[in-house]
Structure 1
């Protein structure tokens, strides 16, 4: 398991080996200066320079005229470099701020390619997406999600991972320390941890508005609105005392917060992949009625349920042509759908009529494997505590089992 890096690690030294990844990319020939500014350790500031007449280089200190500024805490920066945190979530939760040389805010796509080259072990290509969707056509006869117990790693690989088929594994999460916690003990033990709470979707999303809790800070990133509060505040004001909701309104949702080191001792990594395959696990916490609208992750993903039940509606990768997909902020690992499967509008989205889906329920103590490319809609049926694991640092198993080698991919699990 990766260890959380300390503040004593010199960032520029860690950067130097990563910068070599840019040498064969067009980014390396564009004249630019990317300045990293550490809010909690300005003495560790460094910048990356690229130009057509010399290889990418990392320098200590501050450049007088950078083209792009990346403002982040040193701790979050080191978590990114060690693969324990992902850049998009760090940006959308407000912990990574981007601006041009004059201080004007920049969207995430302005640095996405750079960060992916520096941080991620494999990269999505049009060919890999086509291969993932082709694999879905072989699963036309799958009409329900299997539930299994005591699944070995070899059985998981042979029957599910290699063919890109979801499966619910019963029982493993019951062994976690987290399963012994209640909302009250979670609050009393970890209540001071800072959290980002999703309260309003982007205007292009099909989701309704959410209720607005009282919070110390509100931030809008990528068109979505988050509020910053402690775990104690969220549990007290939302989880234990859900706010009144207007018709069609959704409750505030603690979504995809990277687990703090103190919470890591409460969980275990899925036993089917190497721990190094995953970035830092994500915490999802909310009252009944929280929703994740239809989307797909182009990486293998495990969703573990600690408390409560969740209803999932799944669509095979080959159903993409019926789901009106769109990219969000140019994120290559994530695609959203314009449709609302809970209230389908067949006049606006006529192709949706042809989409085949599978419904299932994820219960406390269970874990579902969602192979790369599977579309999913998720609604909490009860107060819910979930953890998910994104295998960003390895190629999806359905691709490696076909003998396909994609950019940066690791064929070993």
Structure 2
């Protein structure tokens, strides 16, 4: 048995009017296959180019270890020169990923390689974020703290994406006071005996290749696995839905600080309690007797 996932629709290109009408307004995902073919980045951006242009920069790295109470919010697990990291990516599988790296802040010339697209949304131009990963590395299923509209451009190789909208949260074993599901769920091959409510979740899937653009609507859960070593860039626009915008403010000002405080006060007991509650609440909310 597999997750109940439908393929994300694909188009070669799209007009602003059609994007707003058919995808942004109803908050549905779309893959646009040839949107950036006129960007210099389309031909220039690969791992070798990033090594050449950013090789001496020290970059933060993350892996898939379980959350530890001693870790701060989004605190990196290691640091390394970009040149050494890309050598590692090209030589062997590694779980180390670059996550939410504002490369344009340190390498302004990258801005010359792309233009901010006009989809009818005001993009946050100060925070284009880059993400890198080695073969078979993955992110935990999560949604972004600001519930933004995300335009995700992939470069080099291939990446698997699984997504759910917020209505599916009740089936995903969401960790309370957090933005992730249980970290021990393997979303590429889930154990339905251990996680039975996943059978009820309805989501989306796709495989991104070089130069393709994925639109992720506000607050969508997403799991990403690098089929090959590669990297992506995300551009963001603030949540337009008032409910999502207010949740973003709550996450940024209250939830994040409360969780950090409880980690300091209760340590690993806080993490263990949250993991237990993810199962209890999912089964209670779904009226499942276990």
- After TM superposition, the score normalised by the length of structure 1 is 0.51
Equivalent residue runs for 1:27-46 within 5 Å: none
Structure 1 position 185, deviation (Å): 3.0
User: Residues 307 and 384 of structure 1 are in contact (CA less than 8 Å); yes or no, is this contact kept in structure 2?
Assistant: yes
In the TM superposition, 1:207-356 aligns within 5 A as 220-222=71-73, 225-236=76-87, 238-242=88-92, 251-260=95-104, 261-297=108-144, 298-326=147-175, 335-338=179-182, 339-356=185-202
CA RMSD of aligned residues (A): 2.9
Q: 1:310 touches 1:363 (CA, 8 Å); kept in 2? A: yes
- Check conservation: 2:219, 2:244, Cα contact below 8 A: no
Task: State the alpha-carbon separation in 2 of the partners of residues 407 and 305 from structure 1.
Answer: 30
Distance in 1 (alpha carbons) for counterparts of 2:23 and 2:142: 21
Q: Distance in 1 between matches of 2:181 and 2:48?
A: 36
In 1, distance between residues paired with 2:15 and 2:132?
A: 29
Greater strand proportion: 1
The whole-number CA distance in structure 1 between the counterparts of 2:24 and 2:58 is 35
- SS of the equivalent of 1:188 reads helix
Is the contact made by 2:7 and 2:206 (CA closer than 8 Å) also made in structure 1? yes
Q: How many pairs are equivalent?
A: 236
SS in 1 for 2:141: strand
Q: What are the Cα deviations for residues 40-66 of structure 1, in whole angstroms up to 9, with x where unaligned?
A: xxxxxxxxxxxxxxxxxxxxxxxxxxx
| Cα deviation digits, residues 176-215 of structure 1 (max 9, x gap) | 222323422321222122311113533379xxxxxxxxxx
Give the aligned partner of residue 172 of structure 1: 35
How far is the alpha carbon of 1:366 from its aligned partner?
Answer: 0.8
Asked whether 1:373 is paired with 2:222, we answer: no
Runs of at least 5 residues in structure 1 that lack an aligned partner in the other structure: 1-141, 206-218, 244-249
Distance (Å, rounded) in 2 between the aligned partners of 1:405 and 1:377: 20
Once the two structures are superposed, the pairs formed by residues 50-69 of structure 1 within 5 Å of their partners are none
> Within 2, Cα distance between the matches of 1:226 and 1:177?
33
- Is contact 1:194-1:231 (8 Å) kept? yes
Contact 2:64–2:140, Cα closer than 8 Å, also in 1: no
Higher relative contact order (CA 8 A, sep 6+): 2
Secondary structure at 2:22 match in 1: helix
Aligned to 2:257: none
Counterparts of 1:200 and 1:405 in 2: how far apart (Å)? 28
Counterpart among 5, 14, 34 of residue 151 in structure 1: 14
Does the aligned pair in 2 maintain the 1:314–1:359 contact within 8 Å? yes
Which residue is equivalent to 2:53?
Answer: 189
Q: Return the alpha-carbon distance in structure 2 between the equivalents of residues 269 and 199 of structure 1.
A: 30
Which sections of structure 2, spanning at least 5 residues, go unmatched? 249-290
Distance 1:271 1:309 in 2: 26
Task: Give distance in 1, aligned partners of 2:42 and 2:203.
Answer: 30
Cα shift at 1:310: 1.0
Match of 2:269 in 1: none
Q: Which has the larger radius of gyration?
A: 1
Is the Cα–Cα contact under 8 Å of residues 162 and 205 in structure 2 kept in the other structure? Answer: yes
Distance 2:207 2:86 in 1: 24
Q: Which of 358, 368, 371 is matched with 2:204 structurally?
A: 358
For normalisation by structure 2, the TM-score amounts to: 0.71
Conserved? CA contact 1:308–1:381, under 8 Å: yes
